[in-house]
Structure 1
Amino acid sequence: MKQASFAALAAFSVCVSAQAQDASDSAAPFVVSKSAQLLTGDTWREGNHIFRLYGMQSCLRGTWAEQPNGNKLDCGNISLAHLAALFDSASVTCQPIGYALDKAVFVVCGAQMNGETIDVGTALIATGYAFAATTAKGKVVNESYLVAEINAKDTSINC
């Protein structure tokens, strides 16, 4: 019984290793092209690849954000505008870390601004128009993104 279990585990390990190798084929960091096609406030297309920021979620188009003065704005459009502004004004380098179920490449990214590197997810969440992603069980994917979300809520922007 132990030999059969070990053999099954070994076969599973080989399969997982092969999948990990496939996912790491394009694992080199890359600079986001200024001509990237932005799809949402956290997803863009470059060539045949779709990239999505890992650990954060932008607002969906058609959801509303209320400003402190009571004005309501399309939160998804504002999320997209913030990503566009960041990509336009900074050199953004991303590291692929895995794949989403829809085959989008999950990435974590840093933007070079004024000689400093800022985490793109944190910067977008700090605007109040994006939030920390959670797992299916409700656990926050990235704790520091939750801190940024809580701080953004303190600015009275309500998505």
Structure 2
Amino acid sequence: MRIELSIVTALLVAGAASAQEKTISFPSAVSFETGDTWAYKGRKFRLFGVQACLRNTIYRAPDGAEADCGLQSIGSLAALFSTGSIGCQPVGTAKDEATFVVCAAQVGSATIDVGTALISSGAAFAATFPSGAPVSAAYAVAETTARENGSGLWAGRFTHPVSALLGEH
């Protein structure tokens, strides 16, 4: 019941925010902070329902090479921004005043959901509520599919960012 109430509350906040602000288009030249957060024109934006790999955590590739897992996520987000037009709809405000957004990318003739693209490719993960329940069921399914297919980061070893943030590692 608490989870359903949280989801309803999030949707109400999202509806109120979207009624107040129109879609924001971004050029590829934004300042990436993490694989789910960037700054543009003095404002911070964060993908709603998406959790990037944490900066300064280790990703071990199948060949044993090590890299900063957070930088891997940033690279994937930056690559999406460089492929074409990104448009985002504000859906709320985070505790740190970042604007939560849901974004679409125009890649060739296709329009793709940025969160789904990052998560299904194994570059990011489905964010959760503190209870551990996913913020987005669709993103949770995309993460499960990426994990089962060994896509992106799932091909190697890393500390799952949600586990780290919830203190489960």
> Shorter-chain TM-score category?
0.7 to 0.9
Q: CA deviation at 1:29?
A: 0.4
CA 1:149–1:24 in structure 2 vs 1: closer, same or farther (change >3 Å)?
A: closer
Following TM superposition, the consecutive aligned residue runs of length 4 or more in structure 1 with deviations greater than 4 angstroms are 23-26
TM-score, structure 2 normalization? 0.75
Of the structure 1 ranges 24-33 and 116-125, higher mean CA displacement relative to structure 2 is found in: 24-33
Q: 1:98 aligns with which of 92, 95, 106?
A: 92
Partner in structure 1 of residue 62 of structure 2: 68
Partner in structure 1 of residue 3 of structure 2: none
1:33–1:46: 8 Å Cα contact kept in structure 2? no
2:105–2:114: 8 Å Cα contact kept in structure 1? yes
Give the letter aligned to residue 92 of structure 1.
I
Q: 2:103 aligns with which of 106, 109, 115?
A: 109
Q: Quick one: percent identity of the two aligned structures?
A: 45
Q: CA deviation at 1:129?
A: 2.8
Q: CA deviation at 1:146?
A: 1.0
Q: CA deviation at 1:26?
A: 5.1
CA RMSD of aligned residues (A): 1.9
- Structure 1, unaligned stretches of length 5 or more? 1-16
CA 1:146–1:158 in structure 2 vs 1: closer, same or farther (change >3 Å)?
A: farther
Q: CA deviation at 1:95?
A: 0.3
Partner in structure 2 of residue 142 of structure 1: 136
2:104–2:113: 8 Å Cα contact kept in structure 1? yes
Name the SS for the 1:134 alignment partner: coil
Partner in structure 2 of residue 38 of structure 1: 32
Of the structure 1 ranges 127-136 and 101-110, higher mean CA displacement relative to structure 2 is found in: 127-136
CA displacement 1:82-141 (0-9 Å, x = unmatched):
111110112111000000011100000011112111110111112323110000111100
1:128–1:158: 8 Å Cα contact kept in structure 2? no
Name the SS for the 1:106 alignment partner: strand
2:87–2:104: 8 Å Cα contact kept in structure 1? yes
- Structure 2, unaligned stretches of length 5 or more? 1-11, 159-169
1:53–1:106: 8 Å Cα contact kept in structure 2? yes
